[in-house]
């Protein structure tokens, strides 16, 4: 099963507040990815985990962003001091070992006012 759940599905916050999103793969997957999608664009890569190790980060991931995967299962993405430009859909994806295909969760839509 390649299912992925994400929580919350929607988040509205005021500029300057901190927000945290969670990604829960239904079954164990070594590889987990975070992407961000803004209106009219395709998803853009943010970061990648191999088990609990964060092995790659995009230059899009400013120092206000932090991601963790403490036990190699679920993952969290935190944005500190949110800005209006952070408004986007944040997507989590998993890649079953050897499949070369990433499967996405439903996403968390963030609106920063």
Partner 1 sequence: DQQVKQNSPSLSVQEGRISILNCDYTNSMFDYFLWYKKYPAEGPTFLISISSIKDKNEDGRFTVFLNKSAKHLSLHIVPSQPGDSAVYFCAASALFSGSARQLTFGSGTQLTVLP
- Determine, following the binding rule CB under 8 A, whether residue 43 of this chain makes contact with partner 1: yes
Q: Considering only the stretches 11-19, 32-40, 67-75, 76-84, report the one whose residues sit in contact with partner 1 under the rule CB under 8 A.
A: 32-40
Closest CA to 36 of 112, 109, 91: 91
Contacts 24+ apart (CB under 8 A), 94-98: 94/2, 94/4, 94/25, 94/29, 94/31, 94/32, 94/33, 95/29, 95/30, 95/31, 95/32, 95/33, 96/2, 96/29, 97/29, 97/30, 97/31
- Residue selected from 41, 59, 70, 71 as contacting partner 1 according to rule CB under 8 A: 41
Choice between 9 and 81, CB closer to partner 1: 9
Give the x-and-dash track for 70-109 against partner 1 (CB under 8 A). Answer: ---------------------x-x-x----xxxxxxxx-x
Binding site for partner 1 (CB under 8 A): 4, 6, 31, 33, 35, 40-45, 48, 50, 55-56, 91, 93, 95, 100-107, 109
């Amino acid at each position: 099963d390649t299912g992925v759940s994400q929580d919350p599905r929607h988040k509205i916050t005021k500029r300057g507040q901190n927000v945290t999103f969670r990604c829960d793969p239904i079954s164990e997957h070594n590889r987990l990815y975070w992407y961000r999608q803004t209106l009219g664009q395709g998803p853009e890569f943010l970061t990648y985990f191999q088990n609990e190790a964060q092995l790659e980060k995009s230059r899009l991931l400013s120092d206000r962003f932090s991601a963790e995967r403490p036990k190699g299962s679920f993952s969290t993405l935190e944005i500190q001091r949110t800005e209006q430009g952070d408004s986007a859909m944040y997507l989590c994806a998993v890649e079953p070992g050897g499949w070369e295909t990433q499967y996405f969760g439903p996403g968390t839509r963030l609106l920063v006012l």
